[in-house]
Structure 1
Amino acid sequence: MPSFTLERRIPAPPEDVFDVSLDVGLHLTSQRSHGERVASGRTSGRLAEGEQITWSARHFGLRFRMTSLVFDVERPRRFRDRQVRGPFASFLHTHEFEGLDGGTLMRDTIDFRSPFGPIGRMVDVSVMRRHLIRVITERNDAISEHFA
């Protein structure tokens, strides 16, 4: 299964970075370039253990919906979300927060797999990995800007 990890130093305590990372409004702001909106679920505030939310966004010129489940919440250390319905054969996002002098090391690990077997594997290698890195980087930029 393809995966990647991104790390970012944020000049704020882990508790604050953790909370902002679960904030629906910040997520929507970070994904504005993709026309992201909430199709169902919480439309503002912080997501909690067991909540599902359906995001609708435009990628590659097409509108996609993805329903994610938030789980494994251990404030302020980590949480995970995984696709329960959507365009991927499999999608898991692990968010980790480690306290550092003067801030937090935020780590995002994405494990994903596109559908359609061998064709999906080619898409993952040639296109999807780069696209997802861009999407997560945009999100992390918004989190960094929040604390600037």
Structure 2
Amino acid sequence: MATLIEIVSVIGAAPNVVFDLELDVDVHAASLQGSQETATTSTGQRHLTLGDEVTFRARHLGLRWCMTSRITAYERPYRFVDEQTRGPFRALRHEHHFQALAGGATKMTDRLSISAPMGPLGVAVTRLLIAPYLRQLLKRRAAHIKNVAEARIRRA
């Protein structure tokens, strides 16, 4: 059974700016500095596109984690999807949606669906510990993207 997490943010920048920041692995790593996150791409490029894979290594909940995801859908600047190809979950799918709002702003929606390994025990751990933790990570990441995007707009 999958657990769904959804975070909605409003960012004072155009969808193409927010979309590009979300696919920049250096911005991603900077948004999660406390977890010592690193990102290695399959292409060596720092900006992901359709078919690219990225391997994240970080410390979360006191444990070292390693997960590889692939960009499986890419519709710039409206939507992209990354899905786990190797990692700790039975399945992980992260949809990123970007909707233009009045005044040049963007509504950014993160929709993360995770399925736990280890049967009922995994489901319980996911619901009680992992999902709340991931919700906070997504909120922190969205706040970082908002800060970077809006700072770029102010400087322009």
Q: TM-score range by the shorter chain?
A: over 0.9
Match for residue 95 of structure 1? 96
Check the 8 A contact 1:9/1:105 in 2, yes or no: yes
Match for residue 67 of structure 1? 68
Q: Deviations over 1:82-103 (max 9, x none)?
A: 1000001110000000000120
Match for residue 139 of structure 1? 141
Check the 8 A contact 1:8/1:106 in 2, yes or no: yes
**CA-atom RMSD in angstroms:** 1.2
Match for residue 11 of structure 1? 12
In 2, the alpha carbon distance for the partners of 1:79 and 1:98 equals: 12
Match for residue 124 of structure 1? 126
Check the 8 A contact 1:24/1:43 in 2, yes or no: no
Match for residue 153 of structure 2? none
- What is the DSSP-based 3-state SS (H/G/I as helix, E as strand, rest coil) of the residue aligned with 1:4? strand
In 2, the alpha carbon distance for the partners of 1:57 and 1:4 equals: 20
Q: Deviations over 1:16-35 (max 9, x none)?
A: 11111101110010011111
| Pairing 1:29-68 to 2, within 5 Å after superposition | 29-39=30-40, 41-42=42-43, 45-68=46-69
Same amino acid, percent of matched pairs: 34
Deviation (angstroms), 1:38? 2.1
Structure 2 unpaired stretches of 5+: 151-156
In 1, the alpha carbon distance for the partners of 2:28 and 2:40 equals: 14
Check the 8 A contact 1:25/1:44 in 2, yes or no: no
Deviation (angstroms), 1:147? 2.2
With the length of structure 2 as denominator, give the TM-score of the two structures: 0.91
Check the 8 A contact 1:25/1:43 in 2, yes or no: no
Match for residue 154 of structure 2? none
- Say which structure is richer in helix: 2
